[in-house]
Amino acid sequence: MLKLAHCFLLMYFAYSNVFAQMAQEYRIVTDMGNIDIELYSDQAPETVANFLRYLSNGFYNDTDFYRVCTPENEAGREIKIQVIQGGMVSEKKLFPPIDLETTQKTGLRHQNGTISMARSGPHTAQSSFFICIGDQPELDYGGMRNPDGQGFAAFGKVVRGMDLVKQIQVMENTEQYLQKPVAIRQIKPLENP
């Protein structure tokens, strides 16, 4: 009987550990439809915690996707990327910047659908995030999109809704800024994806 209890307990902890390590899924609700993402808190704990702090306070509600990088509007840049950017909250709602969890540290890469934090210098990311369209190795550690070579902090991936991401990317823009930003109504946990 004791062996059976130990076996049950061992199976319970193994099962719990597997589910604890699974990626968390969230839904970005926009005026054009939904984008479902998974977040990798095991690999990028500080970046995910930062994103979730904005989410749990409702600060992403009624923000928008406001910037797009396309082959056309990147034509003059030496290092070109393709992303959509959103989630800029008002200055009074900003939390302090977080440390940069580089892709060298996390093992994550900027591939098609990767969600990552926008930044200027190292350790300056706050609320704005972007989603990659296609693989973007110049955004990884050692890439030269940012001259410091530190790259950006990838922390999740789109699991459903890349068609919408691509639709947003090709909307009319002026110098990368959407003429009609796409409202993010809310970002919420997905109970049953």
pLDDT of 69-127, one tens digit each? 999 999 999 999 999 999 999 999 999 999 999 999 999 999 999 999 999 999 999 99
Q: Is the residue at 142 inside a domain? A: yes
What pLDDT is attached to residue 192?
Answer: 67
Domain that holds residue 51: 24-189
How far apart CA 127 and CA 90 sit, in angstroms, is 9
> Domain count of the chain?
1
Query: What backbone torsions phi and psi does residue 177 show, to the nearest 5 degrees?
Result: -95, 125
| Residue 144 per-residue DSSP state | S
pTM of the model: 0.88
Report the greatest alpha carbon distance in the chain: 73
Residue 56 φ then ψ, to 5°: -65, -25
What whole-number distance in Å separates Cα of residue 82 and Cα of residue 132? 6
Structural domain contains residue 121: yes
From CA 182, how far away is CA 81, in angstroms rounded? Answer: 20
CATH of the domain at 135: 2.40.100.10
Q: What is the mean pLDDT of the chain?
A: 90
Q: Return the residue matching tokens 């890349």.
A: 162
As a whole number of angstroms, the distance between CA 79 and CA 185 comes to 32
Residue 2 located in a structural domain: no
For residues 35 and 161, what is the distance between their CA atoms, to the nearest angstrom? 4
Asked which of 40-49, 156-165, 183-192 is least confident by mean pLDDT, the reply is 183-192
pLDDT at 23: 72
Q: Is residue 148 part of a domain?
A: yes
Domain assignment present for residue 14? The answer is no
- Which pLDDT score, from 0 to 100, does residue 193 have? 57
114 found inside a domain: yes
**In a domain? residue 8:** no
Tell me what the mean pLDDT of segment 34-45 comes to: 98
